[in-house]
Homo-oligomer: A and B are copies of this chain.
Amino acid sequence: MTSETPRLRADAQRNVEGIRLAALDVFRAHGLNTPLDAVARAAGVSKGTIYHRFGGRQGLIDAVVEELVAERIKGIITAVGAIDDPVERFENYLRQIWLLQYDEPAANDVLLRSMPTSGAVNALCEHANENAGRLLADAQATGKVRADLTAEDVWLLIWERGIIARACAEQPRDGYSRRSEYTLRGLRSGS
């Protein structure tokens, strides 16, 4: 029960942990596509070790993505869930997700499905999308949000903002979010 696999040697175990920590740092700062060399260097091991222990980028991501972004996304879902007004709730959800995409390249990569073959990443992304779908329906029920908006539209709006956030690089955060706001206004009903 304690450990199914034959147990790692002490040095290997140390390395696995070191690599995980390094990956958390490096991915957090530069996204899930950072060269594995960078992770290896940060962990003080060689590239080969990462391939050995995690099987490649995908495995490494699977091993850290939960700790890397799940908290953030769930935090937003929870925080926004406390808002009473459905329109406010929906709009704030988008605002926060969009800012998260700007602030955290790794979270952005998850929401953009950069690693479409990773189960862990997809699960997180699905989770976010389901929530968005619910919030959208509630908001539309008030009549204050355009009725022709679909759940897929919302996902694509998040995708679009993510693509922009990724390209933003050195552009100011408030400009980014001001322009996000224009899109948000366009989602409301009327004229």
List residues of A whose CB falls within 8 A of some B CB: 153, 156-157, 160, 163-164, 167, 171, 175, 178-179, 181-188, 190-191
Q: Would A181 and B186 count as touching, CB distance under 8 A?
A: yes
Copies of this subunit: 2
What residue in chain B is nearest A175 (Cβ atoms)?
A: B156
- Choose one: B163, B167, B187, B190; the contact of A182 (CB below 8 Å): B187
Q: Whole-angstrom distance between the alpha carbons of A72 and B142 in the complex?
A: 43
Q: Whole-angstrom distance between the alpha carbons of A113 and B61 in the complex?
A: 34
Find chain B residues with CB under 8 A from A153 CB: 178-179
Q: Would A160 and B179 count as touching, CB distance under 8 A?
A: yes
Q: Would A179 and B191 count as touching, CB distance under 8 A?
A: no
Q: Would A167 and B163 count as touching, CB distance under 8 A?
A: yes
Find chain B residues with CB under 8 A from A186 CB: 181-187
Find chain B residues with CB under 8 A from A179 CB: 153, 156-157, 160, 183
Q: Whole-angstrom distance between the alpha carbons of A182 and B184 in the complex?
A: 8
Known: A156-B179, A182-B187. 20 other contacts (CB 8 A): A153-B178, A153-B179, A156-B175, A157-B179, A160-B164, A163-B164, A163-B167, A164-B164, A179-B183, A181-B186, A182-B183, A182-B186, A183-B186, A184-B186, A185-B185, A185-B186, A185-B191, A186-B186, A186-B187, A190-B191
Most buried by B among A175, A186, A188: A186
Tell me the minimal C-beta distance from A145 to chain B in angstroms: 11
Find chain B residues with CB under 8 A from A157 CB: 179, 182
Tell me the minimal C-beta distance from A72 to chain B in angstroms: 23
